[in-house]
Amino acid sequence: MKAGIRRGVNAVMACLTALAALLVILPLILILAFLVYQGASAVNLDFFTQLPKPVGEPGGGMANAIVGTLTLIGLASCLGLPLGILGGIYLAESRDRCLPWMIRFLADVLNGVPSIVIGIFAYTIVVLPMRRFSALAGGFALAVIMLPIVLRTTEELVRLVPASLREAALALGIPEWKVILRVVLPTARAGIITGVMVSVARIAGETAPLLFTAFGNRFWHQGLLQPIAALPLQIFAYAIAPYDDWHRQAWAGALVLIMMIFLSSLVARIVTRGRYSGLR
Amino acid sequence: MVQEGGTAEGLSLPRLALSTKTAGRWGDQLFRLLIRASALALLLIVSGMVVVMVRAAFPSIKAFGWWFLFTSTWDPVAKHFGALPLIFGTIVSSLLALVIAVPLGIGAAVFLSEMAPSWISPAVSFLIELLAAVPSVVYGLWGIFVLAPWLRTQVQPALGSALGFLPLFQGPPYGVGMLAAGLILAIMVVPFIIAVSREVLLAVPDSQREAALALGATRWETTRLAVLRYARSGLIGAILLGLGRALGETMAVTMVIGNRAEISASLFAPGYTMASLIANEFAEATSDLYLSALIEVGLLLFVVTVIVNALARLLVWSVGGAVKEVRE
Amino acid sequence: MKGVQGLYKLLGVLVAALLLSVGYGGGSVSAQMLMNGAGATFPYPIYSKWFDEYTKVDPSVRFNYQSIGSGGGIRQITERTVDFGASDGPMTDEQLKQAPGELFHIPTVLGAVVATYNLPGDPKLRFTPDLLADIFLGKITKWNDPRISAVNPGVALPNQPIIVVHRSDGSGTTYIWVDYLSKVSKEWEQKVGRGTSVNWPVGLGGKGNEGVSGQVKSTPGAIGYVELAYAIKNNLPAPMVRNQAGKFVQPSIQSTTAAAAGAAKNMPSDFRVSLTNPPGDDAYPIASFTWLLVYKNQPDQAKGQALVKFLWWAIRDGQKYTSDLLYAPLPPQVVKEIEAKLKQITYEGKPLLAAR
């Protein structure tokens, strides 16, 4: 083939792929900009401080939903973080034969399960026996979603801690469990925090599993054994309703939610970049 | 002191060593037990999920058998449940999404990893990662208030008058429907496909590229011959991961698909997916058989996504030896 | 040590945030009892007004109501995951048998279901029973169909397809609607039938009265059935429908009350009665009671007492809020009968409403 034609094909393909990238990125940026614009014009102080008003009356806010989402994230973390971190340590440190492989496989399986199916699971084993919808059920569902992410991230990070560090500690006579908890984990903590932030970003926006576990609440929740409001739930309810004021609040809620998620992703990124260059 | 990548600050190992009088082996056993138990918790959860769902779906499985997959009525009054329209809706909306997202996504990934100047790539991939983190309900919100009206007032009438002879584009312009669902899924899945494809492409060893370049290939030829061919199975894996994500998407789809359990040849028609059916009807199933049928649909969804995801992982791992964690 | 503290600090922060929010939530409303209910979207506007007003009457109790549809209300009260349910489709005998205890239907208000639509230029339309049945059966597909023009002489109708909107969730409003259609159309009764969730021949599904009115409002050419309050509050039309006596009647508080007049005289003891297609010149043909579903034997004394006290307030003082929200108040004879029923609600055999 002539060199000219080949160079021509190269140029065309470069353009086409650039076009693909543009076609993908531009609309996404436009959507994001639209969201920010709509949300920013809808957000006011009331939104953060007031409870929802009765149906049809304009005004009110989503204060309980914001606190509710934070509560659910905290609850899910209490359940999911210890299990995930410890399990991740197991996967990285264990010398067992087939169990680690199976656990890894199951973690990937769980990661791909649609969150609504996890919601069904939480409904059947938490809501039904307790005979009530509760923040606990919602937190449980979110913990199950968070678990595989934390597990795999912890495993990966613990693996990356250099063996020499471990060996030095062991050579000094420190028992293995102390080596892991006081030497290995702190070294890998940046990456683990990243994993935590990534999973927090993921569960903050989950709506489907909360539909029939946390249930939603128009007031402040009363403890963890009662239904609780959550930002994505409230956005969904308001979006499909006919009241214009609710639509406005849904946009505001969407902006707040995205801000929360972006913030955690950003923290994860920053933490990784600084402390991490040596290990990666 | 041990100096390794600047991470050993403040680790006073001798102090640690001195405090280990009694802990020793006893602590080790306990700790090992603890971490093994935590890992087993995962096993318990996944197997628990399967057991619980199969048990709950059993009345429906017994009542309808294999016909559940092939019947097209979803009638809660007559207690006749068939999942065919849901399976159809799920497949069609996901396929439509892939048809749009795959060429664009892989093209963009190729651009970012092979063809673009080096400063663009990290900035854009950061952006892509942020976009992948936007939750489903927010896309759904945008879908209801921007996408659906636009489809109803501009796109569907235009398509209907230009290509209306095809059964694909017939029927009244609802705005919401299969087309809206497919488009919104495409938008949600694309950042995902780009991110995974890019990682797959980056995992291709540079030696491959260098060899091609040394032989005088252009940038594109290098990409085509050395990189894409090598990464092919990984790219297919990326596509499958995107499919897995699209299959399980619930909220955005529920908000724009029209919620009608019917099979139609037209993209303008409303439809239903397995996930959105469950979201709409789960809290309200008024009879035990109804609830059981819904859980059976959930079980079906579970099985399908597990298979798709397992296949995808295998393919993605096959490119680049190291087990690379694919962050979702 | 820095390393350890870093990681565990994060956990600590999360736990602290958790406890703080629990404290905040629980503390700010200390010693307040939360009652959970779920169900019909039909009466949601008035229930949400009631629950808001009732906190002024009795600040020690709060009612949290999720409008998930009557089907959901029936299910959740049967499962006992809520303290009370709400439905505008009465429970069938079969459903009542499934409940772990005897369930009472307590009527709260009367409402009307209207065939709301969205057409450019906002023409004032009226419908006959067979028109509605055939539109929802999918037999009439265009707005300028001659049958619609015949009933609406002089009104300009566009050549647009009719976009039917129905409920995608289990709904009492659906029950009222299909109950009416079954009475006026043999074909409907045979082909589709009655229920809170049916196999619709055509149409889009919307979630809740909110979803249907939202869909109709944003889709020109759409027609759907919603409770009167949802139509009016969203500036959607509430058209006249021809009743059994042959008169075209506007849905309103008066015509809804007229619809209940006959039934009020012969109320069954369990209050499960259908008001659709009643006799009477002024009666609106698609009206219904809506009920709160409560167990005769309450499992918890404090909650049971709070519930019964609220119900007592709702059927008497609560009725003054109905007209603003376009619901019709309960007929006086019915209120007397409900009071007698409320006195039958017990905790461990002892009636909760003593000496009133």
Residue C299 contacts B where some CB pair is shorter than 8 Å: no
Per-residue pLDDT, A273:
64
Minimal Cβ distance to B107: which of A17, A165, A173: A17
Does residue A8 surpass a pLDDT of 50? yes
Most confident listed range (A217-221, A235-239, B115-119): A235-239
Nearest-Cα distance to chain C for B193, in Å, is 31
Q: For the residues B163-180, what does the mean pLDDT come to?
A: 84
Quickly tell me which residue has 């995902």 as its tokens: B192
The answer as to CATH 3.40.190.10 being correct for domain C31-110+287-351 is yes
Is residue B126 in some structural domain? yes
Residue B256 contacts C where some CB pair is shorter than 8 Å: no
Topology (CATH level 3) of domain A47-276: MetI-like fold (1.10.3720)
Residue C141 contacts A where some CB pair is shorter than 8 Å: no
Residue C158: C-alpha distances to residues B122, C123, C137, C148 (Å): 54, 10, 20, 11
Which of B236 and A190 is assigned the larger pLDDT? B236
- Partners for B (CB, 8 Å, 3+ pairs)? A, C
Number of domains within chain B: 1
Could you tell me which of B121, B113, B86 has the C-alpha nearest to residue B238? B113
pLDDT tens digits along B263-277: 888 888 899 999 999
Q: What does the alpha-carbon distance between residue A129 and residue A121 come to, in Å, rounded to a whole number?
A: 12
CA torsion angle for C148, C257, C70, C35 (degrees, to 10)? 150
Q: Best residue in C34, C60, C65 to probe A by mutation, most A CBs within 10 Å?
A: C34
Q: Which residues of chain C have pLDDT under 50?
A: 1-4, 25-29, 355-356
In terms of residue numbers, what domain contains B103?
A: 85-259+302-317
Per-residue pLDDT, B247:
92
Residue C71 contacts B where some CB pair is shorter than 8 Å: yes
Ranges for all domains in chain C classified under CATH 3.40.190.10: 31-110+287-351, 112-265
- The CATH number that applies at residue B212 is 1.10.3720.10
- At A138, the pLDDT band (50, 70, 90 cuts) reads very high
Per-residue pLDDT, B38:
86
Q: Any long-range contacts for C246-251 (C-beta under 8 Å, 24+ apart)?
A: C247/C281, C247/C282, C248/C126, C249/C282, C249/C283, C249/C284, C249/C285, C250/C284, C251/C112, C251/C114, C251/C284, C251/C286, C251/C287
DSSP symbol at C161: B
Structure tokens at A53: 């008003």
Residue A243: C-alpha distances to residues A42, B9, C211 (Å): 14, 57, 10
Question: So what's the architecture of C112-265 in CATH?
Answer: 3-Layer(aba) Sandwich (3.40)
Does residue A109 surpass a pLDDT of 90? no
Q: Best residue in C1, C9, C21 to probe A by mutation, most A CBs within 10 Å?
A: C21
Phi, psi at C281, each rounded to 5°? -65, -40
Per-residue pLDDT, B12:
59
CA-nearest residue of chain B to C220? Answer: B174
The count of CB pairs under 8 A between chains B and C is 97
- Partners for C (CB, 8 Å, 3+ pairs)? A, B
Which chain C residues are within 8 Å of B271, Cβ to Cβ?
A: none
SS3 state of residue B246: helix
- At B11, the pLDDT band (50, 70, 90 cuts) reads low
| Mean pLDDT, rounded, of chain B | 82
Q: Is the Cβ pair C81, A132 closer than 8 Å?
A: yes
Could you tell me which of A174, C292, A67 has the C-alpha nearest to residue B16? A174
Q: What is the radius of gyration, based on Cα positions, of chain B? A: 25
Helices (H), chain A: 3-42, 45-49, 63-93, 99-112, 115-122, 128-130, 135-160, 163-171, 176-178, 185-204, 231-239, 244-276
Per-residue pLDDT, C14:
61
Q: What does the alpha-carbon distance between residue B156 and residue C115 come to, in Å, rounded to a whole number?
A: 26
Q: For the residues B175-188, what does the mean pLDDT come to?
A: 92
Nearest-Cα distance to chain C for A132, in Å, is 4
Q: What does the alpha-carbon distance between residue A141 and residue C163 come to, in Å, rounded to a whole number?
A: 38
CA torsion angle for B248, B253, B255, B259 (degrees, to 10)? -100
CA-nearest residue of chain C to A130? Answer: C81
- At B116, the pLDDT band (50, 70, 90 cuts) reads confident
Q: For the residues B141-169, what does the mean pLDDT come to?
A: 86
Q: What does the alpha-carbon distance between residue A151 and residue B109 come to, in Å, rounded to a whole number?
A: 28
SS3 state of residue A133: coil
Per-residue pLDDT, C12:
61
pLDDT tens digits along C68-93: 888 888 988 998 889 999 998 899 89
Please provide the DSSP assignment of C145-157 as one string.
Answer: -HHHHHHSTT---
Per-residue pLDDT, C28:
44
pLDDT tens digits along A228-279: 889 999 999 888 877 888 888 899 999 999 998 888 888 777 776 655 443 3
- At A180, the pLDDT band (50, 70, 90 cuts) reads confident
Q: What does the alpha-carbon distance between residue C283 and residue A74 come to, in Å, rounded to a whole number?
A: 55
Quickly tell me which residue has 């006579």 as its tokens: A173
Which chain B residues are within 8 Å of A278, Cβ to Cβ?
A: 4-7
pLDDT tens digits along A50-92: 888 777 677 788 888 998 999 999 999 999 998 998 888 888 8
Q: Is the Cβ pair C14, A217 closer than 8 Å?
A: no
